[in-house]
Amino acid sequence: MAILHNRVSQAELKQRLQEESEPRTTISFYQYFPISDVQAFRDELYRKLFAIKVFGRIYVAAEGINAQISVPASSVEVFRDILETYEPLKGLRLNIAVDDDGKSFWVLKIKIRDKIVADGIDDPAFDMQRKGRYVDAETFNQLTDDPDTVVIDMRNHYEYEVGHFDKAIEVPSDTFREQLPMAVDMMQGNSDKNIIMYCTGGIRCEKASAYMLHRGFKNVFHLEGGIINYANTVKEKGLANKFRGKNFVFDNRLGERISEEIIAVCHQCGQPADTHTNCSNEGCHLLFIQCDACAAAFEGCCSEPCRDIIHLSDDEQQLLRKGKVKDRNVFNKSRDRMQALQQGKIPPSNG
C-alpha cells in the first residue's frame, strides 16, 4: 500500500533537509473549484507529490485547494505537469517565493478541511463565482494613485505590522472570519469608491472581494496573486514598489523582504526590527518580533522566565508542559502579558 502520511520523526526530517544538496523552490498556489470526493483527491495528490519529494502544507476541501510547498529544482516542471492532470488546475498561476532559502518546509502534509479558508460564512446565497475584478501590479499602482481608491489589508495584525502597502487600511483582528464583517462595517459610506482587497498570495482577498460584492458593494477589486505576485512583477517590469517592509509567510522563513524599510519594532526593546521568531521555550512558543541584540540577551526567548526554563533538563521542561494544550500564541494578542512576563509578574505559559 502506498504511503499516505509521514512516518519519520520531525528531527530526522529537518536533518535530511539540511543535508540536501539540490536547491528547492518555494511555491504557493490556490484555486477555488468544486471537489466531489475530497478524500480520494487528497490521497491521489499525496502519492504523486510524495514521489517527487515535495514538502509543504496543503489544505483541500470541497471548495478547492490551498498550498504552500517547496519543490526540488529538478522537479518543478514535473510538478507543473502533475497539476495539469487536473482540469481546474490547468494554467494555474504559481506564486514563486520572493526571498527563498529553500528551507521553508521539511515534510509533506495534505489535510482535509471544511474550507480552504475559514470564513464563518453560512449564508447559502453566498457565491464564490461572483468575485471582485483582478488587478495586476501596474493597475494596482494606477488605481492607488486615485484618492477615490481604498486599499484594505485582509491579513492578520502581525502580518500587517511588519509590512503593508502605502495607505492600506488594517482590519484589526486575529482571524479572517472576524475581518469579513468588520471590513463591511468599516467601508460603510464608501460605496462610491474603488475598494481593493489584498493578502499574501490572493486566496483571502479573493474570497473577501466576493463577500463585499455579496454585501452590496459595487467597485470591488482584489490584487492578483497577492503581495508575492506583486513583488515579483514590479521587480521584473521595473515598476514602482508601493509595498513597505516585509511580507510575513507561514513557513519556516516567517518572512520575505519586499523593501529595505523596517517599519516594525522589537517587542522587547522597541528598536527597529522586523524579524519574527517563536520563543525558544517550547512550552511558550510565542510568536513575536525580536532584534539581534535581544535574541542574544534572551537566548531566543520572549522573557527572562522563559530563558530560565530552557536551561532546565528536558525532563523538567516536559514536566512543566504536561497536561497543557498548546494553542496559537501571538504577541499582539496579549501585549500586556508580554510586559508582565518581562517584569516577572506572572509565570511563563507552558501551553
| Cα separation, 88 vs 34, whole angstroms | 9
User: Do 224 and 137 fall within a single domain?
Assistant: yes
283 domain residue, yes or no: yes
Question: Do residue 85 and residue 177 come from a single domain?
Answer: no
CATH number of 186's domain = 3.40.250.10
In this structure, the answer to whether residues 224 and 190 fall within a common structural domain is: yes
Q: Give the per-residue pLDDT at 153.
A: 95
Q: What's the pLDDT at 345?
A: 46
| Residue 6 is assigned to a structural domain of this protein | no
What integer best gives the mean pLDDT of the chain?
87
137, 216: one domain: yes
pLDDT tens column, 107-145: 899 999 999 988 889 888 988 888 999 999 999 999 999
Percent of the chain scored above 70 by pLDDT?
87
Are 233 and 145 found together in one domain? yes
Domain extent for 304: 276-342
Q: Which residue has the cell 507561514?
A: 250
Residue 11 domain-assigned? no
Q: Would 245 be classed as within a structural domain?
A: no
In a domain, 16, yes or no: no
Q: What is the mean pLDDT of residues 303-331?
A: 81
Query: Would 203 be classed as within a structural domain?
Result: yes
Q: Do 286 and 219 fall into the same domain?
A: no
Mark whether 103 and 183 lie in a shared domain.
no
Give the separation between CA 96 and CA 74, rounded to whole angstroms: 15
Give me the pLDDT at residue 108, please.
92
The string of pLDDT tens digits covering residues 15-38 is 776 767 788 999 999 999 999 999
Domain boundary pick from 79, 112, 145 = 112
Structure confidence at residue 16 (pLDDT): 73
pLDDT score of 340 more than 70: no
Structurally, how many domains does the chain consist of?
3
Spell out the residues 6+ positions from residue 35 whose beta carbon is closer than 8 angstroms to its own.
Answer: 41, 60, 61, 62, 63, 64, 65
Q: What is the pLDDT of residue 327?
A: 56
Q: What's the pLDDT score for residue 234?
A: 95
Q: What's the confidence (pLDDT) of residue 175?
A: 87
Do the beta carbons of residue 158 and residue 335 sit within 8 Å?
no
Report yes or no on 264 lying in a domain. Answer: no
Q: What is the predicted pLDDT for the residue at 72?
A: 92
Per-residue model confidence as pLDDT tens digits over 212-254: 999 999 999 999 999 999 999 999 999 999 999 999 988 788 8
- pTM (whole model) above 0.95: no
Please name which of 69, 44, 42 lies closest in space to residue 55, comparing C-alpha atoms.
69
Q: In this predicted structure, which of 96-100, 144-148, 282-286, 299-303 has the lowest mean pLDDT? A: 96-100
Answer yes or no: do 146 and 192 share one domain.
yes
Do 68 and 157 lie in a common domain?
no
In a domain, 194, yes or no: yes
pLDDT at 328: 56
Catalytic residue numbers read 199
